Amino acid sequence: MLSNYMPFVGLFVLAAAFALFSVAAAPYVGPRRYNQAKLEAYECGIEPVDQPLTGGRFPVKFYLTAMLFIVFDIEIVFLYPWAVSNEALGVFGLVEMAVFIATVFIAYAYVWRRGGLEWD
C-alpha cells in the first residue's frame, strides 16, 4: 500500500535536491552583472504601483475589479466540464447551462448598470 507512494517520495527528494543544488551552485558558476531591474520584486511584467504617500492603502476599486474577475472567471470553470461531456448530458445539459449563463448575465447586467465597470 505505502509502496505505491514511493514514486512521490522519490520525486520530492529529487525536487529538494535540485533546489538545494541550484541555490548552492549559483554563486559559484553564475555571472554577476547588477542592474536596476534586478532589485524589483519581479524581473518581468508590469512594474509595481507605488504606495500612496498618505499611507499604505490602495483604492478599493482594485478589490472590486478582482472580485468581478472571480465571478466571471468561475463561469468558465463550469463551462469546461459541460463542454467535455455535452453528448452524455444532451438537451438537459444544454438547457441547464443556458439557465446558468443567464443568471451570470443577470449579475453582469447589475454590475454594468450600477457603474461597477467604470474606473472613475
Partner 1 sequence: MGASPVLDTARFDTVAVDAINAPDFSLAGITPLLCVFGAAAVGVLVEAFAPRNVRHPVQVAVALAGTLGALVACVLLAGTREVTAAQALAVDGAGLFLQATIAGLGALSILLFAERSLDPARSSFVASAAVPAGSARDRELMTAQRVQTEVYPLATFAIAGMMLFTAANDLLIMFVALEVLSLPLYLLAGMARRRRLLSQEAALKYFLLGAFASAFFLYGLALVYGSTGSVQLADIRAAGLEDSTSTLPVIGLGLLIVGLMFKASVAPFHTWTPDVYQGSPTPVTAFMAACTKVAAFGAILRLLYVAFGDSEWTWRPLVYGIAIVSMLVGAVLGLTQTDVKRMLAYSSIAHAGFLLTGVLGLGPGGTGSGLQATMFYLLAYGISTVGVFAVVTLVRDGDGEATHLSQWAGLARRSPLTAAIMTLFLLALAGIPLTSGFIGKFTVFRAAIEQGAWPLVVVALVASAIAAFYYLKLVVLMYFSDPAEDGPTVGVPGLPTTIVLAVTVSATLVLGVVPGAVLELAERAAIFGA
Binding site for partner 1 (CB under 8 A): 4-5, 7-8, 81, 84-85, 88-90, 92-93, 103, 106-107, 109-110, 112-114
CB of 17 to partner 1, least distance (A): 21
CB of 54 to partner 1, least distance (A): 16
CB of 2 to partner 1, least distance (A): 12
Burial (0-12, 13-18, 19+ Cβ within 10 Å), 107: middle
| Of 42 and 92, CB closest to partner 1 | 92
Residues 6+ apart with CB under 8 A from 58: 49, 52
- Which secondary structure element, helix H or strand E, spans residue 106, and what is its range? helix 86-113
**Among the listed residues 62, 65, 75, the one whose alpha carbon sits nearest the alpha carbon of residue 111:** 65
| Of 56 and 115, CB closest to partner 1 | 115
The rounded distance, in Å, linking the Cα atoms of 64 and 117 is 9
| Of 28 and 92, CB closest to partner 1 | 92
| Of 60 and 66, CB closest to partner 1 | 60
